[in-house]
């Protein structure tokens, strides 16, 4: 179907095509006087907090179903089965990158989303990660010709590998709690430094369980956005509240509560799914 035929079909079905300048005349991005177009050109991001990350719901429900097949709860499954060991650090790195973008692009989404992977959680996950990697290296280091050989690479000592990781972890501890750009840089660098070691190749992961702090936070965030989607778009009431605004208010009340750890979004979602 040609461009003109598409326009004709839309008009025949009562669609106002006067705004579809890209279909009728093409687009000159340098001469667009439009707030949305300007926003896209400036940072490539359009705030739409009404969508509530629907792809997260799809992945979370898939993970819950797989956990049931394996006879596990969802957090056990996330910790032991969902993705390899690298997946833990990769997902957290991506989350930190998004958070530092949202901090300036969408304040409301930033305030909501940072409730999960905050500074305390990130440092806890990295602490577990650095501990597991250093244990892995010390156990598998083989002395050869006066040097240390790990995964077909030679090093002068185990400390040659571990000292930079410990320094980066110390930097993370001292990092400002709201500086997600710096947290992203540090966690990204830690992951890049350990990738060549092969510490989280699937064949080498025996005994290396992903951080329980990561698994709990990963699942809590997934459950929260799943519940938000279910009540906003699928007419599901949460904990006796009416679908929509009442349930949204209930969920956000839990999210904003200083004692949130007393209530689990995972448990609430388990009763709904």
89, 171: one domain:
yes
Residue 9 lies in a domain: yes
78, 93: one domain:
no
Number of domains in the chain: 3
261, 164: one domain:
no
233, 187: one domain:
no
pLDDT, tens digit, 9 for 90 and up, residues 53-63: 778 898 999 99
**C-alpha to C-alpha distances, 171 to 5, 23, 38, 115, 241, nearest whole angstrom:** 60, 51, 37, 22, 44
223, 179: one domain:
no
192, 182: one domain:
yes
pLDDT at 81: 81
Split at pLDDT 50, 70, 90, the class of 242 is: very high
118, 192: one domain:
yes
Residue 172 lies in a domain: yes
Question: Which residue, 188, 204, 220, sits at the end of a domain?
Answer: 204
Question: Which residue, 204, 220, 250, sits at the end of a domain?
Answer: 204
Residue with tokens 């930097």: 171
Structure tokens at 139: 């156990």
Split at pLDDT 50, 70, 90, the class of 222 is: very high
DSSP string, 60-110: HHHHHHHHHHTT--HHHHHHHTSS-HHHHHHHHHHHHHHHHHHHHH-HHHH
| Phi, psi for residue 201 in degrees, rounded to 5 | -65, 145
Residue 146 lies in a domain: yes
pLDDT at 44: 59
Structure tokens at 87: 């997946």
| Phi, psi for residue 146 in degrees, rounded to 5 | 80, 5
Give the number of other Cβ atoms within 10 Å of residue 106's Cβ. 17
pLDDT, tens digit, 9 for 90 and up, residues 170-213: 999 999 999 999 999 999 998 887 766 554 444 444 456 788 99
Angle, CA 117 vertex, CA 43 and CA 241 arms, to 5° = 100
The pTM assigned to this predicted structure is 0.78
**What proportion of the chain, given as a percentage, has pLDDT over 90?**
45
Residue 147 lies in a domain: yes
Split at pLDDT 50, 70, 90, the class of 52 is: low
Residue 253 lies in a domain: yes
89, 182: one domain:
yes
119: helix, strand or coil: helix
pLDDT, tens digit, 9 for 90 and up, residues 98-120: 999 999 888 888 999 999 999 99
Residue 48 lies in a domain: no
Map 174-234 to HEC letters: HCCCCCHHHHHHHHHHHHHHHHHHCCCCHHHCCCCCCCHHHHHHHHHHHHHHHHHHHHHHC
H or E element: which one contains 249?
Answer: helix 245-256
174, 129: one domain:
yes
21, 132: one domain:
no
Residue 187 burial (C-beta neighbours within 10 Å; 0-12, 13-18, 19+): buried
Residue span of the structural domain in which 188 resides? 85-204
Question: Which residue, 180, 204, 228, sits at the end of a domain?
Answer: 204
241, 160: one domain:
no
164, 135: one domain:
yes
- In this structure, which long-range contacts are made by residues 179-187, counting pairs with CB atoms below 8 Å and at least 24 apart in sequence? 180/96, 180/99, 180/100, 180/103, 180/114, 181/100, 183/96, 183/100, 183/119, 183/122, 184/93, 184/96, 184/97, 184/99, 184/100, 187/89, 187/92, 187/93, 187/96, 187/122, 187/126
Residue 150 lies in a domain: yes
């Amino acid at each position: 179907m040609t461009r003109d035929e598409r326009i004709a079909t839309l008009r025949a079905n009562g669609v106002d095509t006067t705004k579809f300048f890209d279909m009728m005349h093409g687009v000159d991005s340098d001469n667009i006087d439009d707030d949305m177009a300007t926003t896209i050109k400036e940072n490539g991001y359009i705030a739409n907090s009404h969508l509530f990350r629907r792809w997260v719901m799809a992945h979370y429900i898939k993970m819950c179903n797989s956990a049931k097949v394996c006879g596990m709860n969802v957090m056990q499954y996330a910790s032991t089965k969902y993705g390899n060991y690298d997946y833990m650090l990769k997902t957290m790195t991506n989350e930190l990158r998004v958070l530092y973008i949202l901090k300036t692009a969408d304040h409301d989404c930033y305030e909501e989303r940072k409730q999960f992977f905050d500074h305390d959680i990130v440092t806890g996950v990295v602490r577990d990660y650095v501990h597991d990697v250093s244990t892995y290296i010390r156990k598998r280091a083989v002395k050869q010709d006066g040097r240390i050989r790990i995964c077909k690479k030679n090093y002068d000592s185990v400390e040659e590998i571990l000292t930079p990781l410990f320094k980066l972890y110390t930097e993370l501890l001292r990092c400002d709690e709201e500086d997600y750009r710096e947290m992203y840089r540090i966690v990204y660098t830690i992951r890049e430094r350990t990738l060549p070691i092969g510490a989280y190749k699937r064949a080498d992961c025996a005994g290396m369980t992903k951080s329980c702090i990561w698994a709990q936070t990963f699942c809590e965030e997934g459950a929260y956005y799943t519940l938000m989607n279910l009540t906003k778009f699928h007419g599901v009431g949460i904990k006796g509240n009416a679908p929509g605004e009442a349930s949204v208010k209930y969920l956000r009340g839990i999210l904003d509560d200083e004692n949130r750890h007393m209530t689990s979004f995972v448990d609430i979602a388990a009763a709904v799914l």
